[in-house]
Amino acid sequence: MRSPVTDTPYPDLLALALEAARRAGDLLRDGRPADLAVARTKSSPIDVVTEMDIAAEKLITGLIADQRPDDGFLGEEGASSDGTSGIRWVIDPLDGTVNYLYGLPTWSVSIAAEQDGETVVGVVAAPMRGETYHAVRGGGAWATGAWTGERALACRPAPPLDQALVSTGFNYVSAVRGHQAQVAARLIPLLRDIRRGGSAAVDLCDVAAGRLDGYYERGLNAWDMAAGNLIAREAGALTGGRPGERPSGDLAVAGTPGVFEPLQRLLEDFGAWHD
């Protein structure tokens, strides 16, 4: 039986993901021009793709392809290939693009490796925090910080739902965002409070690190959540979508045991899974 921690290729995949995330994070942090330009638009004029976003994905895919030419790719900025090795890399080179564009610190580089469709390695680098989060399936979740060194991650003990701090995100299409705001308005009286950070990958890692009790969002893509979802689960959080389903574009939910299920039920009742 495969050991998810010690058998190859997982340690090699983790080392490669960490190196790619470090290099991309350095590029984004140190190379951000003062007159940052918009290369093209995504779903609306507000949701932008910057020149640095595209450059970071090229750096990541180039580094990985040099060492593992038979692997596949799925990247937010267009990288797409099936590969022949059974390993596919799911990449968000800059999660939190609008934060980055405005000079806000909550953005990240997210890299996950899938084996036969299951995420086995996840790395999320948050350069402006000086932290990188990582997990290997079955091996726990970890954070490495510039000031704190490496430490194991564990989600918080579950509070009552009315004392839970929960994060979410909003779509950049105004009509969709309006419905999401209605859902949030119904949730707020039932929680301690709601946060909106702007990077799904960082939010999932904050659940893992005990900085949030829960997180939910509609409209995520695979690259937004692949790495963070694994890190949250390996830290003891529960994750899913609609009740009985895996996280998807309809709904992604993460939370400490005790918060996850009541939060998921409320989101189902409030129609958070549709626009």
Model confidence at 43, pLDDT cuts 50, 70, 90, reads low
Does residue 60 surpass a pLDDT of 70? yes
User: By three-state DSSP, how is residue 86 classified?
Assistant: coil
Q: What are phi and psi of 171, to 5 degrees?
A: -70, 155
Rounded to an integer, the average pLDDT of 206-215 is 98
Cα(92)–Cα(110) distance, integer angstroms: 5
pLDDT of residue 79: 85
Contacts of residue 185, Cβ cutoff 8 Å, sequence gap at least 6: none
Q: What is the pTM of this model?
A: 0.93
Cα(183)–Cα(138) distance, integer angstroms: 34
Task: Name the β-bridge partners of 72.
Answer: 88
Domains recognised in the chain with CATH numbers = 10-152 (3.30.540.10), 161-269 (3.40.190.80)
Rounded to an integer, the average pLDDT of 32-46 is 73
Model confidence at 7, pLDDT cuts 50, 70, 90, reads very low
Model confidence at 223, pLDDT cuts 50, 70, 90, reads very high
User: By three-state DSSP, how is residue 225 classified?
Assistant: helix
Cα(188)–Cα(177) distance, integer angstroms: 16
DSSP 43: S
- In percent, the amount of the chain with pLDDT more than 90 equals 82
Model confidence at 150, pLDDT cuts 50, 70, 90, reads very high
pLDDT of residue 8: 52
